[in-house]
Amino acid sequence: MRLDSVMLYVKDFPAMRKFYQKMLRTPPVNTEWTDTWALFDLGGVRFALHAIPEEYAAQIEISSPPKARENDPVKLIFAVDNLQGEKSRLEALGGTLIQRPWQGPATECDFMDPEGNVFRISSVAP
């Protein structure tokens, strides 16, 4: 068994597709259902965004600025070559840096995407 894909459900699909396309530096590869689904090929694992159905999305409030979704059971971890450069780039894209006291500032940090989903970038293998 091997991990093939990871999917994240999002409320504002167009905004989140734009954020992750810029973050990952690659466009989605899917050609179907492009208004509700974005599949990114990251060379070994695929990352997907899926729009939350409107009847459920209408019940979800995202504050401005968003609050970190700290209680989600899954956190994505992305390996990067230049941690300091990626921190600056992600902040410019609208990500929010969350530097944890236990994290080495030169090796890893958490970020929050525009909907509050927390992910980590790490200069070491996750």
Amino acid found at 82: N
Q: What are phi and psi of 101, to 5 degrees?
A: -60, -30
Residue 126 has a pLDDT of 44
Q: List own/partner pairs for 19-22 with CB under 8 A and 24 or more apart.
A: 19/93, 19/94, 19/95, 19/113, 19/114, 20/47, 20/49, 20/113, 22/93
pTM of the model: 0.87
Domains and CATH numbers, the chain: 1-60 (3.30.720.120), 67-126 (3.10.180.10)
Mean pLDDT per block of 10 residues along the chain (126 residues) reads 89 96 96 94 93 94 89 88 93 92 88 95 72
